[in-house]
């Protein structure tokens, strides 16, 4: 398997005139160049919200082993956080050419699943389409109360009540619920961490949710869709100059029950759209909604942020104090069920992601490629395209 380490040549991803960060413009061209960084632990760094963040040993190894993946996107980090900013400062990038702490804090808030819960609530209210799911997705800051569950149904538990066991009770089902389990998620997590499925409020579930509340302020919960037949996403780019969201394309991927990443198809948009197999008018409605509202949320709140900032941050504009002009990639994960219904906003990823990477890789390698993207190792992680599937492998 051939190993490629060179970057994609001028990856014009659907734009007529590539913005400065895609053409390598430096200060003379009105843009500060940031070396790309594969910091896949960024979601965990957002949760920690510290400048010096050290991910778990296995994730640290993944970032080291897969560092060459950064050769395949134009510029900048996988994701922004205080820790990312600190890393660039340590590389010698001037602070005034990087996002301010205020702006990073707002991006952190918008990267939380709490924001995704608000976003989909507004979306469903506006679109009023019976084919769209997600009405049960909401954010909680306290535990569900067994006393509110009609009826209270005891379930078998290990141990004896006399030993301090609180017992296990069926979780409350909202209106229209079909009795499916819930999926619980911490506000910031990635690759299946901080995600689990349960239909009972037992000690194990309670302990995990209490941990999310204590460390991250709450948790998101949604119906677990056991009739899911497809994971897919819509990928966008917020343009630094115009502050407009551009639709880059679709991605189709496979994820485990807990959200752990499996693989992305590296295929043409025509083939991916055929896999999705959803009415085109509905897809276009979703694209237009996301373009409009991503722009509103990712620009207006920043400009009007109560920190007193009255101008767009430098990393979202052409100029700015440090002439910094950096991309803001956004991926919105969705799912399709066997009855044709769509969940239009499972997650909102305000960062580079495997779906966008798959789009870029297809422009270089085409369909049905088999390519080693990072060095082959006897032990450790490797990124490959295997017969048109982008995946991360691990050898013990």
Across 259-273, average pLDDT: 94
Across 30-46, average pLDDT: 85
Are 264 and 390 a contacting pair, CB within 8 Å? yes
Say what percent of the chain tops pLDDT 90. Answer: 62
For 10, half-sphere exposure in the C-beta direction (CA atoms, 13 angstrom radius) is 6
Residue 289: pLDDT band (50, 70, 90) is: very high
Inter-axis angle of helices 280-303 and 113-127, nearest 10: 130
Look at residue 372 and tell me if it is in a domain.
yes
User: Which of 25-39, 51-65, 309-323 shows the highest mean pLDDT?
Assistant: 51-65
Look at residue 295 and tell me if it is in a domain.
yes
Look at residue 96 and tell me if it is in a domain.
yes
Place of tokens 């780019």: 237
Domain boundary among 170, 190, 223: 223
Look at residue 104 and tell me if it is in a domain.
yes
Asked if 234 and 213 sit in the same domain, the reply is no
Q: For residue 58, what are the contacts with CB-CB under 8 A and spacing of at least 6? A: none
- How far apart CA 286 and CA 236 sit, in angstroms, is 12
Phi, psi of 121 (to 5 degrees): -60, -45
Of 168, 172, 228, nearest to 200 by C-alpha is 168
Given this model, what pLDDT does residue 326 score?
A: 65
Place of tokens 């961490």: 193
Asked if 200 and 305 sit in the same domain, the reply is no
Domain boundary among 223, 252, 286: 223
Residue 11: pLDDT band (50, 70, 90) is: very low
The overall average pLDDT reported for the chain is 81
Go through the chain and tell me how many residues it has: 396
Asked if 98 and 144 sit in the same domain, the reply is no
Asked if 165 and 77 sit in the same domain, the reply is no
Given this model, what pLDDT does residue 236 score?
A: 96
Given this model, what pLDDT does residue 238 score?
A: 83
Bridge partners (DSSP) of residue 245 are 238
Domain boundary among 190, 223, 256: 223
Across 215-240, average pLDDT: 93
Across 34-62, average pLDDT: 95
Given this model, what pLDDT does residue 325 score?
A: 52
Q: Which two tokens stand for residue 194?
A: 């901080």
Asked if 256 and 182 sit in the same domain, the reply is no
Asked if 285 and 363 sit in the same domain, the reply is yes
Given this model, what pLDDT does residue 384 score?
A: 97
How many C-beta neighbours within 10 Å does residue 16 have?
Answer: 5
Could you list the residue range(s) of the whole structural domain that residue 372 is in?
A: 20-114+228-395
Look at residue 53 and tell me if it is in a domain.
yes
Asked if 90 and 156 sit in the same domain, the reply is no
> Poorest-confidence range of 172-186, 250-264, 277-291?
172-186
Q: Answer whether residue 346 shows pLDDT above 70.
A: yes
> Poorest-confidence range of 26-35, 205-214, 250-259, 337-346?
26-35
Q: What is the pLDDT of residues 114-155, one digit of tens each?
A: 999 999 999 999 999 999 999 999 999 998 765 333 333 333
Helix, strand, or coil here: 103? helix
Asked if 36 and 154 sit in the same domain, the reply is no
Of 362, 372, 112, nearest to 252 by C-alpha is 362
> Poorest-confidence range of 12-16, 194-198, 357-361?
12-16
Given this model, what pLDDT does residue 96 score?
A: 86
Look at residue 7 and tell me if it is in a domain.
no
- How far apart CA 283 and CA 273 sit, in angstroms, is 10
Q: How many domains does the chain have?
A: 2
Given this model, what pLDDT does residue 287 score?
A: 98
User: How, if at all, do strands 228-238 and 219-223 pair?
Assistant: unpaired
Are 240 and 340 a contacting pair, CB within 8 Å? no
> Poorest-confidence range of 3-12, 106-115, 242-251, 254-263?
3-12
């Amino acid at each position: 398997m051939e190993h490629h380490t060179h970057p994609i040549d001028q990856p014009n991803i659907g734009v007529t005139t590539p913005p400065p960060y895609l053409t390598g413009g430096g200060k003379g061209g009105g843009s500060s160049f940031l070396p790309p960084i594969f910091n896949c632990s960024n979601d965990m760094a957002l949760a920690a919200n510290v400048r010096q963040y050290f991910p778990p040993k296995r994730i640290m190894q993944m970032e080291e082993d897969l560092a060459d993946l950064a050769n395949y996107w134009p510029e900048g980090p996988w994701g922004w956080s205080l820790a990312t900013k600190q890393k660039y400062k340590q590389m010698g990038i001037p602070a005034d050419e990087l996002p301010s702490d205020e702006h990073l804090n707002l991006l952190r808030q918008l990267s939380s699943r709490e924001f995704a819960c608000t976003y989909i609530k507004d979306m469903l209210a506006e679109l009023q389409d019976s084919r769209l799911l997600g009405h049960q997705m909401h954010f909680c800051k306290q535990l569900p109360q067994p006393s509110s569950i009609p009826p209270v149904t005891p379930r078998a538990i290990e141990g004896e009540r006399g030993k301090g066991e609180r017992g296990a009770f069926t979780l409350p089902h909202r209106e229209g619920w079909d009795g499916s389990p819930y999926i619980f998620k911490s506000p910031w997590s990635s690759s299946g961490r901080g995600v689990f499925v349960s239909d009972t409020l037992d000690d194990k579930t309670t302990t995990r949710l209490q941990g999310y509340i204590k460390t991250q302020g709450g948790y998101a919960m949604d119906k677990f869709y056991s009739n899911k037949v497809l994971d897919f996403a819509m990928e966008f780019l917020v343009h630094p100059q115009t502050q407009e969201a551009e639709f880059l394309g679709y991605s189709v991927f496979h994820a485990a029950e807990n959200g752990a990443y499996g693989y992305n198809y590296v295929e043409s948009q025509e083939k991916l759209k055929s896999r999705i197999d959803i009415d085109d008018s509905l897809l276009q409605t979703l694209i237009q909604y996301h373009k409009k509202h991503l722009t509103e949320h990712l620009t207006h709140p920043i400009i009007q942020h109560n920190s007193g900032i009255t101008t767009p941050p430098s990393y979202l504009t052409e100029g700015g104090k440090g002439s910094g002009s950096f991309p803001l990639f956004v991926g919105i994960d969705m799912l399709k069920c066997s009855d044709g219904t769509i969940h239009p906003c499972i997650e909102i990823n305000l960062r580079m992601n495997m779906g966008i990477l798959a789009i870029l890789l297809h422009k270089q390698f085409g369909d049905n490629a088999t390519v080693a993207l990072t060095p082959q190792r006897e032990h450790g992680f490797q990124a490959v395209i295997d017969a048109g599937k982008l995946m991360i492998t691990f050898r013990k």
